Structure 1
Amino acid sequence: MTPSAAVPETAPHQARFWWPVLGGGGVLGLFAFVGDEVPGVAGLVILTLTSTGFVWGMAALLAGYASPHPRSAIRNATTLLLVATVAYYGLILVHGRRWHSGQLADGSSAAMSGLASVGRHSALWLVASVAAGVTLGWLGTTVRRGTRLRASLAAGAAVGLLAGQGLHLVATFQAWHVLDDPFFLGNLVAAGASVALATVSVTVLLAYRRATRSWPTFVAASVVASVAGALLWSQIDSIRSTM
């Protein structure tokens, strides 16, 4: 077969594969933005489903898991998260209300200060998207195609990264006396749900692979990685609080 004859067969396949990556990233960014706009518990539910470390991380992990080889796994997972981040902060810029409104102490507009804050946060999450995309994309393809030991270790590491935000929130939650407030209770329930979903989802992916796996290795790696994941999110929250 000549090279020119191979192009019509491979190009449509590549195009079809890119659409879920780009579309998934756009949907994540859009719904994260919508969740911020919806008040009360309804907005919290939307954010839980579309704008948590578990949801975005799981999307990147699945992109890596579904990719045909490690290079495309890293590329697709990273692209998905970058598109989601650009869509989210792009909508914030276009909408304008979050950064354009408000006044400083002297009565002047806080627009420039708000715009600078958006810029700092978007830069932070773009860097985080690259780091998370590379890591979770590689973990996803390793869970599916790695050797017995490597796949089990990768799955455990994925659990820790995906559950880290929820574990950090549960570990640092100090408002137990206000659990009758739906907002605080919703946050706690959402954190617990993300930990459970991360564990179940990665377990299913590991079990679904055709090759063998080591469940004791997976469990041990999950415990260690979960502690590391919670500590990582503690550092991320510290950085966010200073911006």
Structure 2
Amino acid sequence: MNRPIVLVGVGEMGGVFARGFLRAGHPVFPVTRAMDLNAAAMAVHDPVLVLVAVAEADLHPVLAELPETWRDRVALLQNELLPRDWRRHGLEHPTVISVWFEKKRGREVKVILPSPAHGPGAGLLATALERLDIPARVLDSEAELLEELVLKNLYILVSNICGLAVGGTVGELWQAHRGLALEVAADVLALQEHLTGHGLDHERLVAGLAQAFAADASHQCQGRSAPQRLQRALEQADAAGLAVPALRRIRAETA
């Protein structure tokens, strides 16, 4: 029998991966936020992978409590994720996947783009998704991973923040309000450069954004967490001393 996989967080996204792991022949040990991580680590002390699939707000509390025996086999999939998020917890080379599919309660999985992954468990994640006919790809380098994470952040922030101003779908945003989308994208990329400490290829990332919009043009721009995403971006910009004029204008117009 294959070695077990620990799944921390058993929501919609965790459920998708659990089915994939099971189809790939791995026992899955689910851990909810109500369970003690150290007790779980004593029960499953040698998993091949520990996938953290909790809500965004729970990520840092979970990583802070992560048992020592699990730290070298962690995999992450949260939105708005950057290397600084795992490095603050002393994790240097976790497995990370940028998820480009949606799973809503009572609905089938909806794929937008193939999901890229990097790290020691990237092949396992890709295999699990492929068992469910969800496309995935394994990246060759941390530099590729960084660009993929920034692209996903760009997609989430541009669509959500622009959605506060104009509503509608990402297809409508790109067709009818492209100037606004590009203004917001410039602000978001300036913020991402500060948060990552790396210069970014703006032209390539905006082209990737357009590709993602085209892949699911009917996707609604404004998610439930859009106001919080804008607020967090502005707080980060204030701390960095960044102007981000489009973000500040949208905040003023929608307050």
Same fold (TM over 0.5): no
Normalised TM-score (structure 2): 0.27
- Which structure exhibits the higher relative contact order, with contacts defined as CA atoms closer than 8 Å and separated by 6 or more residues? 1
Normalised TM-score (structure 1): 0.28
Rg comparison, structure with higher value? 1
Looking at secondary structure, tell me which structure has more strand per residue.
2
